[in-house]
């Protein structure tokens, strides 16, 4: 017997508990659901939605103390490309070679959740046929 699939909220609670604690996470789940093709991800769809929701939550400033704060704990990836001492500002480069990534992939490479989603995509095979979405 297969274990029951986890809900998007359960995945999000495990992957980005601060997103749940901040409240208003339903908006990020809704945004992620609208951008996720459930046919492509199949049984991994809830995980994909949760990863994208955490990624959006972080990039929109809720998870990183404001845009550009450089909070590595929250998910910023890549090497440090700039620093400033007065009021401490650290800039991060892309987590992967930007020339090899599409625009969508480059945006996802900005957070650890986005990178996890890119890896999840690699494990999903595109289905040739009618998806109903």
Domain locations along the chain: 8-122
**Mean pLDDT of successive 10-residue stretches along the chain, which has 133 residues:** 85 94 92 94 95 94 50 52 70 56 84 94 73 59
Tell me which DSSP letter residue 41 carries.
Answer: H
CA distances to 56, 96, 97 from 92, rounded to whole Å, are 17, 11, 13
Contacts (Cβ under 8 Å, ≥6 apart) of 49: 8, 11, 29, 32, 33, 36
pLDDT reported for residue 67: 41
pTM across the whole model: 0.70
End-to-end CA distance of the chain: 29
The angle at the Cα of 32, spanning 67 to 115, to the nearest 5 degrees, equals 65
Q: What are phi and psi for residue 74, nearest 5 degrees?
A: -80, -15
């Amino acid at each position: 017997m297969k274990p029951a699939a986890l809900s998007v909220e359960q995945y999000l609670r495990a992957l980005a508990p601060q997103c749940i604690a901040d409240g208003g996470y339903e908006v990020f789940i809704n945004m992620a659901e609208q951008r996720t093709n459930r046919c492509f991800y199949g049984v991994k769809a809830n995980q994909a939605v949760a990863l994208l929701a955490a990624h959006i939550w972080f990039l929109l400033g809720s998870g990183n103390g404001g845009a550009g704060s450089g909070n590595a704990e929250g998910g910023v990836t890549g090497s440090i490309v700039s620093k400033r001492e007065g009021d401490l500002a650290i800039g991060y480069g892309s987590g992967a070679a930007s020339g090899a990534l599409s625009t969508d992939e480059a945006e996802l490479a900005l957070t650890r959740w986005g990178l996890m989603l890119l890896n999840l995509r690699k494990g999903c095979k595109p289905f040739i046929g009618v998806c109903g979405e």
